[in-house]
């Protein structure tokens, strides 16, 4: 099976051209056609001679994932994609004052099993290849005629469980001749795969790291997130400290607000104590309720009381603006509905 051309970093493409006896600058030309001019037909790469076009066409595919379904409200579009092997994934676009952002999926399904997450109810089938993540951006940009300025790797799947493909994806979209999305506009969200956090810290990337914490102690986090039974909070906090020491990059702590589960003032005080002195900020996330009804969203009053408690304890925090509450915007909801058909 031919490798997809969107799967190659520019360095890999340069090596390909050198191996076939061509100058490596041709990789830059191909990248410009694909990512800047958005030309997906190799025969139209007019500054590349025909014999090289033929060679590229013989060696690589440019197959794109397909839009199956789209839901939208005022500031959000959610896409369901069909992959070439007939699996389904999702991506969500959010429109902000400062530009368009996208939340991409990294796997077909997820094995983390977080109790409040719709995507965790559908087990991991396989990792996404780098090109399948890149194409989520390209196909949506084409569909909406927009430019994506920031990327969050927070859709279906655990990104650090697909480490190599995620790093390749980041290199492709960050490349100045690729999608030219700045590293500081790329956020990777993990449930806490500690060995990979250490590995990530050693790479010369300036991306943002977000940790899905969602509980201030092991007892509660064990119930919500099975990964905590392998990598507990103490080990995770130490990994965050080490990451901060190596990278000097502030870390985001994600905390989804679940009614009468993790939203008490006692939880807020415990969280503040846990995070005190770290270069972090806490992102309080109103829960997107799923069809299962297992969890409910905390009230606005509870969220603000939690926020005020953290602020008074000296913890930087924000409350996430809601997007997609009128559509199936919780990760996995749209794919889950399709799998029931």
Kindly state the helix (H) or strand (E) to which residue 60 belongs, with its residue range.
strand 60-61
Secondary-structure percent of the chain, ordered helix, strand, coil, rounded to 5: 40, 20, 40
Q: Which of 110, 114, 317, 331 is catalytic?
A: 331
179's torsion region: left (phi>0), alpha (psi -120 to 50) or beta? alpha
Q: How far is CA 53 from the centre of its chain?
A: 33
Tell me, yes or no, if 90 is annotated catalytic.
yes
Contact present, 289 and 299 (Cβ < 8 Å) = no
CA distances to 66, 69, 145, 155, 181 from 63, in Å: 9, 19, 20, 22, 23
Reading phi first (left if > 0) and then psi (alpha if -120 to 50, else beta), residue 34 is in: alpha
Which among 90, 132, 158, 289 is annotated as catalytic? 90
Q: Are strands 66-72 and 76-82 parallel, antiparallel or unpaired?
A: antiparallel
331 noted as active-site residue: yes
Which amino acids are annotated catalytic?
90, 331
């Amino acid at each position: 099976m031919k490798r997809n051309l969107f799967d190659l970093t520019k360095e890999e493409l340069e090596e390909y051209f050198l191996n076939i006896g061509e100058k490596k600058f041709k990789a830059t030309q191909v990248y410009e056609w694909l990512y800047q001019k958005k030309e997906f037909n190799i025969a139209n790469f007019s500054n590349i001679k025909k014999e090289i076009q033929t060679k590229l066409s013989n060696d690589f595919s440019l197959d794109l994932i397909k839009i199956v379904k789209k839901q939208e409200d005022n500031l959000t579009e959610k896409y369901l994609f069909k992959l070439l092997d007939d699996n389904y994934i999702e991506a969500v676009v959010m429109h902000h004052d400062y530009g368009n952002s996208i939340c991409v999926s990294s796997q077909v399904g997820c094995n983390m099993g977080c109790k409040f997450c719709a995507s965790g109810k559908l087990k991991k089938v396989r990792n996404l290849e780098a090109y399948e993540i890149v194409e989520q951006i390209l196909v949506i940009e084409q569909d909406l005629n927009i430019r994506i300025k920031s990327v969050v790797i927070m859709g279906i799947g655990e990104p650090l469980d697909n480490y190599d493909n995620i790093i390749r994806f980041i290199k492709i979209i960050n490349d100045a001749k690729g999608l030219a999305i700045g590293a500081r506009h790329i956020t990777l969200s993990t449930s806490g795969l500690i060995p990979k956090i250490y590995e990530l810290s050693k790479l010369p990337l300036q991306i943002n790291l977000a940790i899905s914490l969602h509980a201030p102690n092991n007892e509660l986090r064990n119930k919500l997130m099975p990964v905590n039974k392998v990598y507990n909070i103490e080990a995770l906090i130490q990994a965050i400290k080490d990451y901060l020491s190596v990278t000097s990059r502030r870390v985001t702590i994600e905390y989804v607000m679940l009614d009468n589960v993790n939203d008490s003032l006692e939880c807020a005080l415990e969280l503040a104590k846990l995070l005190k002195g770290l270069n972090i900020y806490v992102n309080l996330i109103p829960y997107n309720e799923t069809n299962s009804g297992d969890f409910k969203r905390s009230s606005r009053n509870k969220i603000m009381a939690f926020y005020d408690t953290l602020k008074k304890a000296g913890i930087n925090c924000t409350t996430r603006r809601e997007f997609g509450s009128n559509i199936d915007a919780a990760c996995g909801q749209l794919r889950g509905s399709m799998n029931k058909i």
